[in-house]
Amino acid sequence: MHRPKPDLFLIAASLVAVALPVIGLAAFPAAAEAFAGTLFEFSTRAFGTLVLVFVFAAALAAGYLAFSKYGNIRLGSGKPEYATATWVFMFICAGMGSSTLYWGVMEWAYYYQTPGLHLAAGSRDALEYSISYSFFHWGISAWALYAIASLALAYHFHVRKKSGLGMASIVEAVTGLRANGWVGRLVDLIFVFTMFGALTVSLALTASTLTRGLSALTGMPDTFTTQFIVIAIISVVFSLSSYVGIDGGMQRLSKIVCIGALAYSAIVLVVGPTQFTINNITNGLGLMIQNWVRMSLFTDPSGDGAFTRSWTVFYWLWWISYAPGVAMFVTRVSRGRTMKEVIAALVLGGSAGCWFFFGALESFSMHQYLTQAVDVPRLLAEHSGETAVVTLLTSLPWGGVFLAAFLFIMAVFCASHMDAVGYAIAATSTRNLKEGQDPSPTLRLFWCVMLALLPLAMLFAHVSLNTMKTAVVLTTIPFLLVLGIMLFGLFRWLSQDYGALSAQQIEEQSRRLAATDPVGAPPAEAAATQAEPAAIPVPRA
């Protein structure tokens, strides 16, 4: 029997790919940023419409599966492992993270200054649509992507009883190309690149916000050295938790902090302008629902399409970059659930959680601007979003306490996610790893350190947000092909396995499976149900 060992080729190729941009950004920051801007422009123009259509189709596909006869297909036998409320809460936590706290306060201000849908910048319409665009980018379409990717992997694993939760294994199941052949190695490499790109914006925004907040609280200098120390502490200290075997404690802390983040937004709603917040959320949801199709397919053919490329296309690629990790997580915790339950929990539960979080924090931020208490757009334009976040939070009653709690939640989210992504990459870069086995703690620690290098290089070079977005776009576009293969495989399997069955027959089979003892499940399924679900990466850092 072969023992697990590091995949040296995958590790070496990944390090080379990470080292090149790190060296370029550190040695030639101005030239590197200009080159990144050119790449972003070209990539989003070339693939932007494809991305918009793909995500729109994914949302329609999720709706079709939920309401069709296939929605009653049960993913595995036996009763669900988790109570419904707990299970849905897991997914809400999957949509939140350290950088989500930044966007939850500041995103509307970006849209207000550079709005979509041909709205005039700084206008009343731009202000009202700013929160509706946040709801759009963190709502139905984004969570539908997660649902489709998750169902493809869960069906492959629980219904077709195929071992392996990696992307290469499902590509092999669909195409017949071997997971341990050159195609499988390429898929693994794309997965690693995607994880690096996804984490770049998150870590850079988190580090800069943390240091700006710590500077306001303690007076410590807000410099690159401080940012380096903050990321180093988060990377090393919390990664060591995996090495010494206290990962479970850290994961429990991250779940508590997730509850704290929702409670934080609820307190802001109560302490802040409650009536304005409720009205603003209601109005924003109405505008988003009314314009959902237009927002989904707004290519701006008569203009330059800058808003769509800079925001909607970027956001969809960012969500796609996290889809593999979320699919693994959902597969692990959803045995015994029907397909429509998974779709409802992700699309409705996840969207509702994000809408509440963004609605409470963004409405407070907008109200401070409207009452002239804090000129958020001016701070964003003349200083930085991080400065605006600190100014806004300290304007609350007991502002120092609110800022400290905000920074603590952000740090724990970041640490938890870095550890989880490090686990996923370490597992992918370990050969012969079987279900129920974990990658080497040393390798996990190594990848957590490597994951911090690219965002650190960007902070050192003082690159713009658009340059950070380039890392997401360039690393995620290749994964579109992998996700397309997964979706094709899912619908082909559904047609082959259940196409000839009536809705009543599927429902009867689902009831029988729910009453079946899962003890007799294949070893791969048993291993998955016993694994700690929190070890699987979930979005956002």
What pLDDT shows up at residue 238? 63
* 23: its two tokens: 């060296």
pLDDT confidence bin for 535, thresholds 50/70/90? very low
Going from the C-alpha of 486 to that of each of 61, 316, 358, the distances in angstroms are 13, 17, 31
Q: Say if 529 falls within a structural domain.
A: no
- Where in the sequence is the domain holding 206, given as residue range(s)? 5-511
Query: Is 338 strand, coil or helix?
Result: strand
What is the total residue count of the chain? 541
Q: Say if 524 falls within a structural domain.
A: no
Q: Say if 519 falls within a structural domain.
A: no
What pLDDT shows up at residue 164? 65
436-464 pLDDT, tens digit each:
566 777 787 788 778 777 777 777 777 77
The Cα 203–Cα 152 span in angstroms is 29
Q: What are phi and psi of 431, to 5 degrees?
A: -85, 145
226-254 pLDDT, tens digit each:
888 888 787 766 666 655 544 455 556 66
Q: Say if 257 falls within a structural domain.
A: yes
Mean pLDDT lowest among 11-25, 191-205, 517-531? 517-531
Q: Say if 520 falls within a structural domain.
A: no
The Cα 195–Cα 2 span in angstroms is 27
- Percent with pLDDT over 70 in the chain: 89
Q: Say if 516 falls within a structural domain.
A: no
Considering its fold, how many domains does the chain have in total? 1
What pLDDT shows up at residue 240? 65
pLDDT confidence bin for 380, thresholds 50/70/90? very high
Does this model's pTM top 0.75? yes
3-state secondary structure 416-477: HHHHHHHHHHHHHCEECCCCCCCCCHHHHHHHHHHHCHHHHHHHHCCCCHHHHHHHHHHHHC
Strands (E), 7-119: 74-75
Bridge partners of residue 6, in order along the sequence:
430
**Average pLDDT of 178-190?**
81
What pLDDT shows up at residue 170? 83
Q: Say if 240 falls within a structural domain.
A: yes
**Average pLDDT of 294-304?**
93
Average pLDDT of the chain, as a whole number = 84
CATH number at 339 reads 1.20.1740
Asked if residue 357 lies in contact with residue 95, where contact means CB atoms within 8 angstroms, the answer is no
Buried b (16+ CB within 10 A) or exposed e, 53-86: ebbbebbebbeebbeebbbbbbbbbbebbbeeee
Whether pLDDT at 523 is above 70: no
Residue 177 CB-density burial (10 A; 0-12 exposed, 13-18 middle, 19+ buried): middle
Cα first-last separation, the chain: 37
Whether pLDDT at 508 is above 70: yes
The Cα 311–Cα 336 span in angstroms is 37
Provide the residue type at 377 as one letter. P
What pLDDT shows up at residue 533? 39
Whether pLDDT at 66 is above 50: yes
What pLDDT shows up at residue 107? 95
DSSP 4: P
Q: Say if 531 falls within a structural domain.
A: no
Is the model more confident about 177 or about 298?
Answer: 298
Q: 83: which residues sit within 8 A by CB, 6+ positions away?
A: none
DSSP 336: T
